Structure 1
């Protein structure tokens, strides 16, 4: 089911991209006032603005719906700390103690005072 919703989500996103690229900008209407191309439109004398705008809105609503559905699927897959039955404080303490056990122990080396880059504190 999740794969189907994801496929629909991708198709809706591609459709929105295509519809936005098909739409003309506000500056493209300046030539129509002089009669340039108004009779040659496929969608009538008003142009394709309202049709493409409505289709973009419909696809945007579909994209939001599929986004919410995918978020619900992701929430169901995620396991929280309380679902594992371990209190959060114990989990953090055990993780930090494991990390400290795995750290290498460095041996302190004493350098002669003349070889240090920083002058000794007096």
Structure 2
């Protein structure tokens, strides 16, 4: 139960963190000038928005890391259930239960080939004599 609560809380904190990072204005970007001048910065005061957003982002980032460490610690000792569908790709071939008798399988002593093998050494020895 606690795991599910932390998982939902982690998702909410992550979405809030993404939103806060996207709201912040980069240094020297002057993105606010294209939306009607610098009037958007006066909501929190001249320097208040930067401090508030920076502090909120760092608090949410720390909370995000703490929740993820707790979730990782909680899931370490949990034994995972094996799904039958995951093991479809790995098929194990086992040895037959009954060993074949000696006469059941053909065994050849020497390997015979249809391709004749000739060596140049034999031809040279014949030419030298």
User: TM-score, normalising length from structure 1?
Assistant: 0.58
CA contact (8 A) 2:6 2:67 kept: yes
Determine the structure 2 residue equivalent to 1:11.
Answer: 12
Q: Given the alignment, which residue of 82, 88, 92 partners 1:99? A: 92
Determine the structure 2 residue equivalent to 1:60.
Answer: 61
CA distance in 2, matches of 1:30, 1:11: 27
Q: Does 1:27 align with 2:50?
A: no
- Would you tell me which structure has more helix in proportion to its own residues? 1
Q: Does 1:75 align with 2:46?
A: no
Uncovered stretches (5+) of structure 1, i.e. residues with no partner: 80-97, 103-109, 115-119
Greater C-alpha Rg: 2
CA contact (8 A) 1:38 1:47 kept: no
User: TM-score, normalising length from structure 2?
Assistant: 0.55
RMSD: 3.5
For residue 99 of structure 1, report the CA deviation from its aligned partner: 3.2
Q: Residues 45 and 78 (structure 1 numbering): CA distance in 2 closer, same or farther, change over 3 Å? A: same
Uncovered stretches (5+) of structure 2, i.e. residues with no partner: 81-90, 96-110, 120-129
Q: Residues 113 and 71 (structure 1 numbering): CA distance in 2 closer, same or farther, change over 3 Å? A: farther
